[in-house]
Structure 1
C-alpha cells in the first residue's frame, strides 16, 4: 500500500506537522486524530517504505509477533510466539495504514524547519511551504549508511552493497562474500549467505548476542515478565548511554534460534576481527576476534543468569538452565587476508547509519548529531521527537513501544495547545 486514502492539501497551516511516515509518524497521527487535532504527515518516500525497500528477502522479525502492538492495531494472527516474515510484516503494516488513514503527503522531502519569532514553525518542502504550531520529528535515526573510505580503494570488480541494499544470495556474483559488521543485520545476512552455501568471510564487531529460547520459553517472554521492556532510560544502568548500544544479534528465522558465530566458523565460515584497512592488496584486521566472541558470549550468559535469578526468586517451575560453552575458538588471530587470493567477489557493509537532521534548524543537537530531549520533548517549545531507539524504553523504536511514546507526545502537544490558547485568551481580555 503506497497510496494512503486520505491525501492532504498542498500548502497551508496546521496545528501539528509530523515529519516521517513510518510506524512512529502513523502512531502519532492515530492519537492526533483521536484528539481531534488537525495535522499533516509528510513522508520523503512512501509510507513505511523502509520495511518494504530496505529489507532482504528472507528478513523476519527478531521479536515475537505478540510484541507487535501498534496503537489500536495489535497482532491478530494465530502465531503470537512466531516471527512474521517480510511479506507478513508488510501486510500487518498495510492494515495499520488503512486503520489510521493519516492525512499524508508522500514523495515530499522536508528541506528546512525553523521556528519563527512568533513561535510558529515554517516548513519548506519539495511540494510547497507550510506552517505549524508544533512539529513532531518521526523520521527515525537511521538516515545515512556508513561506508568506510577504504571502500573507495577496492577494485571495481568487487560488488559493494550496504546492508539496506542486500536482497538475497542469488543477486550477488559467484565467489566469496565478505560481510563487515555483526549487529543484527550483519549477523543475519551472514547467516542467510551461509545457509545458501556461500563462502562467507565475516569481520566480527563488538555486538552482543542473546539466546532465542532459554529454560522453556523465548527470552523475550522472560524479559517481559521481568519488566525489562518497561524500564525507562533514566533507570537503565547505562542511562542515556544505552542509546549507543548495538542491538543483540539473534534471529526469528525458521521459528527462531540463536545465532552462534562459533558454530558458523566450525562449519566453514571464516571469522576475523574488526576490519581496519586495505593496503598493498591485503585486508588488515584488528586482533579482536577472540575478545569480541567472548564478550558476546558473556552477555548471552549474563542475560540467562538474570533469568535464572528471576525463576529462583519467584519459585517458577521451568526446565533446567545452563551456561553456554564455546563450540569453537580461533587458534590464532589472523590479521591479514589477501584480496586476490580470497576469492571475494562482493562486500556487504553492515556497520550502521548516521542520523541526518541537517534540515532541522534548531539548537537541540549534541556533537554527534543526536537531539537532546526528555522522553521526546525537546527544550524548544513545540518541537518533539518520536521513534528513536531508547527514546523512553527499549521498545521506543519498535512496534512494541511506539504506542506509549506516541500517546505521551500527543498528550504533551494537547497540553501545549491549551496553554497557548489560555495565554491568547488572557492577552485578548
Structure 2
C-alpha cells in the first residue's frame, strides 16, 4: 500500500454518474479537485445489476449534455455495459482526475486549520471541501420481515443476475417498482412460476401519442417538481426499457401467468401473508397512468401539436382473478416457492462522513446539495433539488449548482484586504529587486 499525504481544494467521493458530473463542472470552473472511487468508474452499473438490464429512459434522454450515444438509435435503451462505458468515455473527454481502487475510510473536520482530513486506503488527504457523490444505492435494503433460516434462497435484486442462478422452484418477487417488475417478467418468460408482491406505485405509459414518457414529464414540468406530493413517499415507479421498451401493465402480467399478490405482510410457520390491497394498488396505478394521458392530451390541444391520437391507450383489460379474489396467504412449500428476490430498494451509509451534516434519522441536512455543515456537499440523492435528481441528466444539473457554490466560496476565501494587498506588493517588489541584482 502506498502511504502518502495530499492536499487538494475539493475531494469528490465516488466516480459514478454523480462524481463524473461533479468533476466536469469543477474542471470547467478551474477548481483543483480529486475524485476517489473504491472500485471502477460506474461500478454499480457493471456488477450490481442483472445481466439484461437496460436504461429506463431512451438514449436521447438518459445522458449528459456533452456526449451522445453515437452507436445507438436515440430512441433505443442503452444496455448497462454501454452505460458504464459511456461514463468512462465522458471522464476521458476532460481528463477527469479520478483515482480508482481507493477507498475513503473517514472524513473529519480539522480543529486547527480549515477543511477536512480524509483517511483513505492509500494515505491521508487534506481538503477544504468534500463532495459525497456516492448516490442513493449504497446498501441493499431487505426488510426485517424476511424469514430466517436456510430453507429459502433469498437475494436482493442487486444480487440477481439471470434466471439460471436460482434453484428449481417458484419465486416470490417482493416489490413492483421498475426492478421487481422487470425481474419477475424475465423469470416468468424463462419458465419460472412467479409470485409478484405489488405495493403502491406510479405507472406511466412507456410512450403516448408518439412521445416517450420522459418527454411528457419534461414538457409537463414533472421532472422539475421540487417536492414529492404528500403521501407518495413510498410510491415506486413501474416503467421498463426491456425488449425495446413497453408500458408496464399488471393486468397483462397476470394474463401472462404471473401470480399477483398484495404487499407482503409476515412470514411465520412456513407461510407468508399478504395485505388485501392488490386491487387498490393497481387501480391507483391506473389513475396515475390515465392522469398523465389526460395531461398529455391537454398539452397537445393547448399547443396545437399534430401528434396522432391513441384511443387504444385508454383501454384496460378486465380485472384478473387475482384482483377480484386476492391471495392473502400462501404455504411456501405447497406453492413450491424456493426463492425470494427482495426488490425493496436501498439505504445510504455515510458512516465514513464523520461530520455534523445529518438529522436524527441519519439523513443528510442540505438545501439543493449544500450541506448544513460548511464545506460538505451531497449530489446524486433522490429529490436533491427536483424529481429528476437521481436520473443521469438530473445529476448533471445538480452537480453544476454545487460546483458554482464551491467556486463562489473559493472567491470569498481568496479575498485580501488592503493591508494584505499592500504586504503582497512589498514582497513582489523585494523579490523583483533580488532577481535584478542576481
With 140-149 and 316-325 compared, the bigger mean Cα shift is at 316-325
Aligned equivalents of 1:424, 1:196: Cα separation in 2: 72
Aligned equivalents of 1:127, 1:368: Cα separation in 2: 31
The gaps in structure 1 that reach 5 residues or longer are 1-7
Residues 1:91 and 2:76 aligned together: no
Aligned equivalents of 1:112, 1:427: Cα separation in 2: 35
> How far apart are residue 321 of structure 1 and its match?
4.1
The gaps in structure 2 that reach 5 residues or longer are 424-438
TM-score (norm 2): 0.89
Aligned equivalent of 1:61: 55
Aligned equivalents of 1:355, 1:426: Cα separation in 2: 47
Residues 66-81 of structure 1 correspond to what in structure 2 (within 5 A)? 66-70=60-64, 72-81=66-75
- Kept in 2: contact 1:123–1:131 (CA 8 A): yes
| Distance verdict in 2 for CA 1:26–1:10, change over 3 Å | farther
Residues 1:303 and 2:296 aligned together: no
Aligned equivalent of 1:371: 364
Aligned equivalent of 2:407: 414
> How far apart are residue 276 of structure 1 and its match?
1.3
Residues 1:136 and 2:131 aligned together: yes
Q: Which runs of 4+ in 1 moved over 4 A?
A: 423-429
TM-score (norm 1): 0.91
Q: Secondary structure at the match of 2:40?
A: coil
Aligned equivalent of 1:281: 270
> How far apart are residue 247 of structure 1 and its match?
4.0
Aligned equivalents of 1:237, 1:21: Cα separation in 2: 27
Residues 45-60 of structure 1 correspond to what in structure 2 (within 5 A)? 45-60=39-54
> How far apart are residue 424 of structure 1 and its match?
7.8
- Kept in 1: contact 2:36–2:102 (CA 8 A): yes
The partner residue of 2:343 within 345, 350, 367 is 350
Aligned equivalents of 1:381, 1:426: Cα separation in 2: 27
Q: What per-residue deviation string (whole Å, max 9, x for no partner) do you get for residues 263-290 of structure 1?
A: 1112221111111111121111111111
> How far apart are residue 22 of structure 1 and its match?
0.5
| Distance verdict in 2 for CA 1:388–1:212, change over 3 Å | same
Residues 1:294 and 2:287 aligned together: no
Aligned equivalent of 2:183: 189
Taking only aligned residues, the RMSD between alpha carbons, in angstroms, comes to 2.2
Aligned equivalent of 1:176: 170
| Distance verdict in 2 for CA 1:70–1:290, change over 3 Å | same
With 418-427 and 172-181 compared, the bigger mean Cα shift is at 418-427
> How far apart are residue 349 of structure 1 and its match?
0.5
Aligned equivalent of 1:126: 121
Q: What per-residue deviation string (whole Å, max 9, x for no partner) do you get for residues 223-254 of structure 1?
A: 3233433x251xx4638x87x45442111112
- Kept in 1: contact 2:41–2:84 (CA 8 A): no
Aligned equivalents of 2:96, 2:3: Cα separation in 1: 13
> How far apart are residue 423 of structure 1 and its match?
5.3
| Distance verdict in 2 for CA 1:419–1:324, change over 3 Å | farther
Q: Secondary structure at the match of 1:28?
A: helix
| Distance verdict in 2 for CA 1:279–1:348, change over 3 Å | same
| Distance verdict in 2 for CA 1:205–1:416, change over 3 Å | same
Aligned equivalents of 2:65, 2:103: Cα separation in 1: 26
Q: Secondary structure at the match of 2:273?
A: strand
Residues 1:328 and 2:322 aligned together: no
The partner residue of 1:319 within 295, 304, 308 is 308
Aligned equivalents of 1:104, 1:197: Cα separation in 2: 44
> How far apart are residue 78 of structure 1 and its match?
4.5
Q: What per-residue deviation string (whole Å, max 9, x for no partner) do you get for residues 57-98 of structure 1?
A: 110111111113325323334411111122322332232232
The partner residue of 1:148 within 143, 157, 161 is 143
Aligned equivalents of 1:43, 1:360: Cα separation in 2: 15
The partner residue of 1:338 within 319, 331, 334 is 331
Aligned equivalents of 2:23, 2:418: Cα separation in 1: 27
Aligned equivalent of 1:5: none
> How far apart are residue 395 of structure 1 and its match?
2.7
Aligned equivalent of 2:354: 361
Q: What per-residue deviation string (whole Å, max 9, x for no partner) do you get for residues 330-370 of structure 1?
A: 22232110011111121110111111112212222234322
> How far apart are residue 101 of structure 1 and its match?
2.9
Aligned equivalent of 1:202: 196
Q: Secondary structure at the match of 1:52?
A: helix
- Kept in 2: contact 1:83–1:256 (CA 8 A): yes
The partner residue of 2:100 within 103, 106, 120 is 106
- Kept in 2: contact 1:68–1:75 (CA 8 A): no
Q: Secondary structure at the match of 1:341?
A: coil
Q: Secondary structure at the match of 2:83?
A: helix
* Residues matched between the structures, number: 416
